[in-house]
Amino acid sequence: MSPIVEIEGLKRFYNTPAERVEVLKGINLSIERGETLILKGVSGSGKTTLLSIIAGLDRPSEGKVLVEGEAIAKLPDNHLSHFRGRHIGMVFQHYNLIEHFSVKDNVSVPLVPMNLRYQKVGQRVEDAMKKANISHKSDMLAARLSGGEKQRCTIARAIVTNPEIVICDEPTANLDRENAIKFLDILKNLHNMGKTIIIATHDSIFESLNFSHTVVYMSDGEIEKSESIE
């Protein structure tokens, strides 16, 4: 089976009037279906940009990016957005919840463009909240949740579309140790469900991950080394 993410010669630069800032300098990476990949590196190493490009949030300046066999770099907006909605679940560093929506409404955001029936949306949201262990707060406003609850709400939102790929950007940065360990349990569940998981982090807690995964070290826009851990 072909890899779920294939990246070849990926470059990303910004042209400022004075100079050309290269954030990614030729990345080659391939991620297998069901693999868990941890991107490590100091801030500014290009982790977030790489994640954004895989998620289709940012566009590459050069190179080939295939996700699920689709060349997402040149997809028109409506196709790219729907691709993103269907295949990729996002867990953001700052949660990115809509503060004045309830948990339930937050979780249903990705389902809105899919033209699903109301009952079906309700069912899927219910399901996702149960998996992320947040059902008991379903009618609470997102603004009133604690940090850990916000995290779980974000995870429910990320898996509500049942995506193949879950992308997490610094997921434990705003969590205390106890909640971070809980997050690792959730990751394990996702892994057991067969999801491909990509995490950008510099938190050492991921060293205690107790299932097989790959760690990729990035620095200065390039991949330094990668190692598989059983």
Partner 1 sequence: MLNRVKLHFLALSVFGESSRHLATVLLSVLVIFILSSVLFISSSIKYTVTTALENEADMTVQRVRGGMLAQVPLSWEKDIVNIRGIDSVSPRVWGRYFTKPKGKSFLIIGVDFLDSNANKALSKIVGSTDLKKFLNAHNMLVSAKVKSWMKKRFYTDSYSFLSADGEFIKMNIYATLPKNSDLLSNDVIIMPIDDARKILGIKEGYVTDFVLNVPNDAQKVFIEDKLSSLHFDIRVVSKKESLAAYDESFNFRNGFFLTLFMILLATFSLILYQRYTQSYSTQKRQIGIYRALGWSIKDILTLKFYEIVVIILGSYVTGVGLAYIFVYIANAPVLRDIFLGSGNFSPDVVLIPVIDFSALSSIFLLYAIPFVASVLIPVWKIAVSDPKEAML
Partner 2 sequence: MNPILLNTQVQIYLFGESILYIFMIMAFIISLHILLKWDFDSFSDEQYRLERRSYLVITILLFVFAVKFMLLPYFVFTIDSLNTLVPGAMCAAGVISANSYGLELLFVKLFVVFILSWWLMINYYDLQAKNYPFFKIKYGLYIAVFVLITLELWLDFAYFGNIDIHQPVSCCSALFGQLEGANPLPFGLDTKTMLILFYSIFVTLAILILTKQDITALIFSGLFLYISYYSVVYFFGTYVYELPTHKCPFCMFQKEYHYIGYLIWGSLFGGVFLTADSILCKKVLNVDTSKSKIYGLLLITVFVFTVSAVVLIYRFQNGTWL
Residues near partner 1 (CB under 8 A): 48, 51-52, 55-58, 77-78, 80-82, 84-86, 90, 92, 96, 98, 100-101, 105, 108-118, 121, 157, 161, 169
> Among 30-38, 60-68, 127-135, 202-210, which window interacts with partner 2 (CB under 8 A)?
60-68
154 binds, among partner 2, partner 1, none (CB under 5 to 8 A by kind): none
Rounded Cα distance between 184 and 188, Å, is 6
161 binds, among partner 2, partner 1, none (CB under 5 to 8 A by kind): partner 1
* Binding pattern for the stretch 61-80 against partner 2, x by CB under 8 A and - elsewhere: xx----------xxxxxxx-
117 binds, among partner 1, partner 2, none (CB under 5 to 8 A by kind): partner 1
Residue whose CB is less far from partner 2, 65 or 142: 65
* CA-based nearest residue to 163, from 90, 63, 219: 90
Pairing of strands 5-15, 222-229: unpaired
Q: Which residues of 182-202 are buried (b: 16+ CB within 10 A; e: fewer)?
A: bbbebbeebbeeebbbbbbbe
Strands (E), 50-96: 62-67, 70-71, 88-91
Under a CB-based contact definition with an 8 Å cutoff, are residues 66 and 6 in contact? yes
| Helix (H) / strand (E) containing 136 | none
Rounded Cα distance between 48 and 51, Å, is 5
Residue whose CB is less far from partner 1, 69 or 118: 118
> Among 42-50, 53-61, 89-97, 157-165, which window interacts with partner 2 (CB under 8 A)?
53-61
* Binding pattern for the stretch 5-34 against partner 2, x by CB under 8 A and - elsewhere: ----------x-------------------
Choose which of 46, 56, 60, 221 interacts with partner 2 (CB under 8 A): 60
180 binds, among partner 2, partner 1, none (CB under 5 to 8 A by kind): none
Return the half-sphere exposure (C-beta side, CA atoms, 13 A cut-off) of residue 116.
18
DSSP assignment letter at 191: H
Under a CB-based contact definition with an 8 Å cutoff, are residues 202 and 124 in contact? no
Paired tokens of 27: 């990345």
Residue whose CB is less far from partner 1, 36 or 108: 108
Query: In the complex, which residues of this chain contact partner 2 (CB under 8 A)?
Result: 15, 59-62, 73-79
